[in-house]
Amino acid sequence: MPRSGVVEIDRPMPGVVTTRMTGHARAEHVEPIKRAVNQEIAAGRRPHVFHDWSDMTGYDSEARVAMADWYAKVRDHVASVNVLAKNRLVAMGVQVVALAVRADIHIFGDRAAFDAAYRRARSAAERQR
């Protein structure tokens, strides 16, 4: 069984949530992500969510299912979901979630494009304040 990874979550400004996952994702990593995004939604914002999963090596199916079930409930309450994934299995899992919940999740394999989308989202969130 792969060693459990680490998730870091930040809310750098109102309307933006970022996560960084390193290693192997487990279902326990989903809860703090949900909490951060749900807090933004509860505050009346439609957050831009950025997942830097470029260092994620894999995930448990329970983590993917938990994320899919939750995103199905909140997909209409977020402005955008953006994922940087280098690992093909991780990128494929994100695509499966996007299809399953009929969500427009932007998947990036390139750091520069991901960072550019992040800058645009921060500008949009700043205008919303």
Determine, yes or no, domain membership for 126: no
What range does the domain containing 102 cover? 6-121
pLDDT for residue 126: 87
Determine, yes or no, domain membership for 127: no
pLDDT for residue 12: 97
Determine, yes or no, domain membership for 128: no
Contact criterion met (CB below 8 Å) for 90 and 54 = no
Distance CA 92, CA 100 (A): 12
pLDDT tens, position by position, for the chain (129 residues)? 678 899 999 999 999 999 999 999 999 999 999 999 999 999 999 999 999 999 999 999 999 999 999 999 999 999 999 999 999 999 999 999 999 899 889 999 999 999 999 999 999 888 877
* Residue 32, domain CATH: 3.30.750.24
> What is the tally of structural domains in the chain?
1
Question: In angstroms, how far is the first alpha carbon of the chain from the final one?
Answer: 45
Determine, yes or no, domain membership for 116: yes
Distance CA 16, CA 117 (A): 12
